Amino acid sequence: MRIAVLRPQVPFSRGGAEIFTDRLVDELRVRDYETELVTLPFKWYPGARVLTQAFMWRLLDLDEADGNPIDVVVATKFPSYLVRHPNKRVWLVHQFRQAYELDRTELGQFGESTEDRALRRKVQDLDRVALGEARRLFATSRNVADRLERSTGLTAEVLPHPPQGLPYRCTGYGNFVLSVNRLDRAKRIDLLLEAAALDSSLEVVIVGDGPDRERLEGLARERGLDGRAHFAGRVGEDELAELYGRCLAVFYAPVDEDFGMVPFEAFLSEKPVLTTTDAGGPLEVVADHRTGLVVSPDASELARAAGWLRDHRDEAASLGRAGKAVAAEVTWDRAISRLLA
């Protein structure tokens, strides 16, 4: 069977969707499916470019390649699912969020002019039409599926996927809380820094890079966290696995996140996850005092929760082990079998 996995690319940028699709291609190939990754650059501004760039996917002919049929296409993210194919399956990472829940927030894109408002609706129309054509429609999390149902009326089956393959292990429960994320405002790393400012014995290690890094480093300096907040930048796989293995817990609290692989990576390292009640997708696997701690998005509550884990390391280990059992249920074998059924 020949499978094309479809993914838009934002040149010079890499995140969870890229890790996921690369891994999907690898896992399909391991199972002897002839698989190719198909990508197109995507730029969503200014004005109607979000539509014209998306439309490029519609002009592709992926029915066959060099005279041989492509049996299945698996689209993942807006706008790759605009492609036409008789056996189009969508494993939805997320829609174009600026047109939905991020609209009229500081992360939104569309203004109040009649043209901008109509533009946003056109993006929604594209979703309704293109996702409605899919032969099978999956979402990476309940949160993504619920958003889809609310916005388009379409129903997706929830199909989570395992995180990236790292040499996961647990080497103890150290003194620091680890954050692994792209550094942008929606990931809310500042909440962790503010918590560290309130608890002088809380140490944090922040892995990742992004447009919010300068502001976050400035905030750490302002709060006098030098020495207790370490910005590690991008790290290699071995170093990442080592940090997961040593940390006390993993902080992961973006605003209404789609899914997020970080909790699964933490669990596979037997670490509890610290998250917030408004984090969205992570709450599907992080249960308070079962696999982590869930607090309101407030620095003092977060500081208290981190302090509790530091003072109760056996319980922290127990929560981490419970998380590992949750993560073990999500396997590529199961996911691919449902995807291609």
Task: List the Cα angle 277/191/10 in 5-degree steps.
Answer: 90
Compare residues 58 and 312 and give the one whose CB is closer to other proteins: 58
- Type of residue at 324: K
Tell me: does residue 64 bind other proteins (CB under 8 A): no
Q: Is 84 in the site for other proteins (CB under 8 A)?
A: yes
Lookup: tokens for 250: 């993993």
C-beta separation of 39 from 10 below 8 A: no
> 10 Å Cβ neighbour count for 36?
15
Q: Which is nearer to other proteins, 29 or 117 (CB)?
A: 117
Tokens 């949160």 found at: 143
C-alpha distances out from residue 230 to 59, 99, 140, 220, Å: 47, 35, 31, 9
Beta strands in the chain (DSSP E): 2-9, 34-41, 64-65, 68-69, 72-77, 88-94, 136-139, 157-158, 176-180, 203-207, 229-233, 249-251, 273-276, 292-295
Residue closer to other proteins (CB basis): 111 or 224: 111
* Residue 59 touches other proteins, criterion: CB under 8 A: yes
The Cα 287–Cα 318 span in angstroms is: 13
> Structure tokens of 320?
């981490």
CB nearer to other proteins: pick between 131 and 178: 131
Is residue 41 involved in binding other proteins (CB under 8 A)?
A: no
If the CB atoms of residues 117 and 312 are measured against other proteins, the closer one turns out to be: 117
Q: Which of 259, 292, 261, 289 is nearest to 275 (CA)?
A: 292
Q: Which stretch binds other proteins (CB under 8 A): 33-41, 55-63, 224-232, 241-249?
A: 55-63
Q: How far is the CB of 125 from other proteins (least distance, A)?
A: 5
Q: How far is the CB of 118 from other proteins (least distance, A)?
A: 3
Out of 116, 242, 256, 315, point to the residue binding other proteins (CB under 8 A). Answer: 116
List the beta strands (DSSP E) in 202-248: 203-207, 229-233
Q: How far is CA 336 from the centre of its chain?
A: 19
48 binds other proteins (CB under 8 A): yes
* Binder of other proteins out of 38, 130, 145, 148 (CB under 8 A): 130
Query: Which one among 126, 183, 249, 299 touches other proteins, defined by CB under 8 A?
Result: 126
| Residue choice 118, 224, 234, 328 for contact with other proteins (CB under 8 A) | 118
Query: Site residues for other proteins, window 147-186 (CB under 8 A)?
Result: 153
Contact region for other proteins (CB under 8 A) — 32-40, 119-127, 173-181, 193-201?
A: 119-127
**Distance between CA 16 and CA 19 in Å, rounded?**
5
CB of 149 to other proteins, least distance (A): 8
| Residue of 19, 37, 40, 51 that binds other proteins (CB under 8 A) | 51
Total number of residues that touch other proteins (CB under 8 A): 26
119, 202, 229, 302: which one binds other proteins (CB under 8 A) = 119
Binding positions for other proteins, rule: CB under 8 A: 47-49, 51-52, 55, 58-59, 82, 84, 113-122, 124-126, 129-130, 153
